[in-house]
Structure formats: C-alpha cells, structure tokens
C-alpha cells in the first residue's frame, strides 16, 4: 500500500512539475535590433521614454518581460561586427518576432522571409517591405513614419517662419537614409519651397566626432540654416549634435522633440511614444498567432511642434506670435 502511495505521489509530483514548467516552455522571444542605441536603453525602466512606452504597452497587453516574454537586445555595443553580420546573428537566433527601428529593416528583408518583423521605418512600400500599407503580405508589418515630401516641406516652412532669410539649407542625415526614400522626398520639398538643399551625409556606424566634423563644415559651405533628418542615430547623439550646431550659430530644425531639451531651436516630430505603442500592438498580435502580412502598417499622422525660446534669443531671433501659438511645447 505504501509502495502504491509512493508511486502515486511520484507521478503526481512529476505531473505538477511538468505543469509548473509549462509557462517557461511557452515563453515567446522578442529580438530588438537598434545598433545606434545601447541595449541598456531598451528596457522597461529606461531613460528612453520611447522604449518605456513600448514595454508598458506590451505589459498592458499581457506580454510581460521575464515572465512570458524573453527580450533579446542587439544594440550599439554589438555594432562593431557590422550591420549585416549583426542581422545574420539575430536571424540565426530565430526569435518569434523581431522589432527593428530605422534602416535595418532592409537588411532583414534580405536576411529572412519567414521570421515576423515589426519595423518602425520610412515608406515600407517604396522599400519593398510591403505590398501595401493595408495588406503588407510577406513577413513585415509595423509603423510607417514617411509621409513623403509633406513632413519635410512642413519643417522647411516652420524653419522659414522662424528665419525668413532661409535660402540654402544644410540637411544632416545618414548616407543610407539619403540614398533611400528620404533623399527624393527632401529634394522635392526643398524644390517646392524654392530652397536649395545641401546634403551633409554621415556614414554609419557614426561617432560623435563624425557629426562634429560634418557640422563644422556647414557654415564655410555657405548654408544659412540646418535641418536634421530622422534616425535613431541622431536621437542617441542629440546632445552633441545640438551643441555643435549652437557653436556655429545657425538656426536649425530637428526631427525629435527631445532636441529642444538639449538646446535645439525647434522640432517638428512624430509622436514616437504613440508609434511605439502601435508597434507593441503589432508585436502582441504576432505573438498571439496573427501572420504579419495580415496586420496593416500604421501610418504616422500626429505631429508635435516644440520651441526653445532661450536658443532663439541666443540666435537673436524674434519668435513669431503665430509660431508660438501653434507650439505644442515651449522650453523657456
């Protein structure tokens, strides 16, 4: 009888042990690829409010880090291997879904046609990532932050309102972005505004010195104002970029609201908190079994204008009342 009780107890313990192990076995794996940013920023408690928004939304949806979701981060400290090599490593790790911000989306298109990818990127249709925004097909979905020439035209118009003498515009961006959809969009917007645009290109991976050297050449080249292009890389190096532009005393408009907090004159930006929440919803849908090709790309449509009045004063600029009234945020 005792032997029967012992065997029964052993079987019950084994079943309980197996049941207890099921949540671990059921964990999903999310790989985040953003080689411009340190992996330490890709956390729930990060200083980066955009990643905080991503993880908070995932948690709200029931995807809880280190519980039912394992997050593998591929950040700046791994970028020395080179982007193509790093992308291959991510693909070999075979996660359930990949989240990629920026230009890396194209590398993943070449590297895998089976692993679901959520991309926060420029025009996914123009890049060949999706058949359409509504029905992407394939293994990509995500958020499109490219509205064609319209956002660049709006930034040029706002900069001209702040600085009416605008005639020759230096445009700072990554070479890969300029050679993709961004370049034609900026050129079209500048032509429509009657402004000459001078591309000022930096090669990835970048350093603070590469931006400093680039910016130092802008005034001698004859530009009278600056526009900085969208990329995670400029977000990471925003303090040094804003400081160097301040040192050459040219008015500039930036792509992310965070720039006004480090001395940037003005920004006209997407609401990246909202966009990361949208990306989190796509990640959640994939983890619950929805094919990425059936999940529409979300098109960014909400924008924010921010101004730094201290910087305007340092540049001897009178901020128009109309511009001040339309600002979503003003740094005094």
Query: What is the 3 state secondary structure string of 192-254?
Result: HHCCEEEEEEECCCCCHHHHHHHHHCCCCCCCCEEEECCCHHHHHCHHHHHHHHHHCCCCEEE
Domain tally for the chain? Answer: 2
pLDDT at 220: 87
Question: Does residue 49 sit in the same domain as residue 154?
Answer: no
- For residues 179 and 209, membership in a common domain is answered with yes
Q: Are residues 285 and 315 in the same domain?
A: no
CB contact set of 56 (below 8 Å; sequence gap of 6+): 44
CA distance 269 to 255: 5
Q: Identify the pLDDT of residue 232.
A: 87
Does 327 share its domain with 186?
Answer: yes
For residue 262, give its domain range.
149-270+303-331
List per-residue pLDDT tens for the chain, 332 residues long.
444 444 445 545 544 444 444 444 489 999 999 988 899 999 999 989 999 999 999 999 999 999 999 999 999 888 777 888 999 999 999 999 999 998 899 999 999 999 999 999 988 998 899 999 999 999 999 999 876 778 999 999 999 999 999 999 999 999 988 998 889 999 999 999 999 999 999 998 899 999 999 999 999 889 999 999 998 899 999 999 999 999 999 999 999 999 999 999 999 999 999 999 999 999 999 999 999 999 999 999 889 999 999 999 999 999 999 999 999 999 98
pLDDT of amino acid 26 = 80
Are 198 and 319 within one domain?
A: yes
Residue 7: its pLDDT value, please?
47
Note whether 321 and 191 are same-domain residues.
yes
Residue 173 sits in the same domain as residue 125: no
Q: Are residues 242 and 161 in the same domain?
A: yes
Q: Are residues 47 and 111 in the same domain?
A: yes
Q: Is 32 domain-assigned?
A: yes
Q: What CATH number does residue 312 fall under?
A: 3.40.50.2300
> Which 3 state secondary structure label does DSSP give 315?
coil
Same domain, 197 and 321: yes
> Residue 10: what are its φ and ψ, rounded to 5°?
-65, -45
Residues 260 and 162 both lie in one domain: yes
Beta strands in the chain (DSSP E): 28-33, 69-74, 97-101, 117-121, 140-144, 168-174, 196-202, 225-228, 252-254, 266-270, 298-299, 303-308, 329-331
- Please tell me whether residues 103 and 247 are part of one structural domain: no
């Amino acid at each position: 009888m005792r032997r029967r009780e012992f065997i029964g107890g052993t079987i019950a313990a084994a079943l309980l042990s197996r049941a207890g192990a099921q949540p671990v076995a059921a964990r999903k794996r999310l790989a985040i690829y953003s080689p411009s940013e340190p992996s330490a920023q890709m956390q729930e408690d990060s200083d980066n409010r955009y990643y905080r928004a991503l993880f908070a939304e995932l948690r709200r949806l029931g995807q809880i880090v280190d519980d039912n979701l394992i997050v593998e981060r591929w950040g700046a400290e791994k970028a020395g291997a080179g982007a193509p090599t790093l992308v291959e490593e991510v693909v070999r790790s075979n996660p359930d879904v990949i989240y990629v911000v920026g230009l890396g989306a194209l590398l993943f298109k070449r590297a895998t046609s089976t692993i679901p990818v959520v991309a926060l990127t420029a025009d996914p249709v123009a890049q060949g990532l999706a058949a359409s925004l509504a029905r992407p097909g394939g293994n990509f979905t995500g958020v499109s932050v490219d509205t064609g020439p319209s956002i660049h035209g709006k930034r040029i118009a706002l900069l001209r309102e702040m600085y009416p003498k605008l005639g020759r515009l230096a445009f700072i961006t990554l070479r890969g972005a300029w050679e993709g959809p961004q370049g034609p969009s900026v050129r079209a917007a500048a032509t429509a505004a009657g402004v000459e645009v001078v591309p000022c290109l930096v090669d990835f991976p970048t350093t603070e010195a590469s931006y400093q050297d680039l910016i130092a050449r802008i005034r001698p080249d004859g530009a009278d104002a600056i526009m900085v292009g969208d990329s995670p890389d400029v977000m990471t190096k925003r303090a040094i970029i804003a400081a160097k532009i301040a040192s050459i005393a040219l008015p500039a408009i930036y792509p992310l609201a965070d720039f006004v907090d480090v001395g940037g004159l003005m920004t006209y930006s997407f609401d990246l908190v909202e966009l990361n929440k949208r990306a989190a919803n796509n990640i959640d849908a994939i983890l619950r079994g929805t094919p990425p090709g059936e999940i529409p790309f979300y098109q960014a449509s909400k924008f924010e204008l921010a101004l730094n009045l201290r910087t305007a004063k340092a540049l001897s600029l009178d901020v128009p009342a109309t511009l001040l009234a339309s600002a979503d945020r003003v740094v005094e």
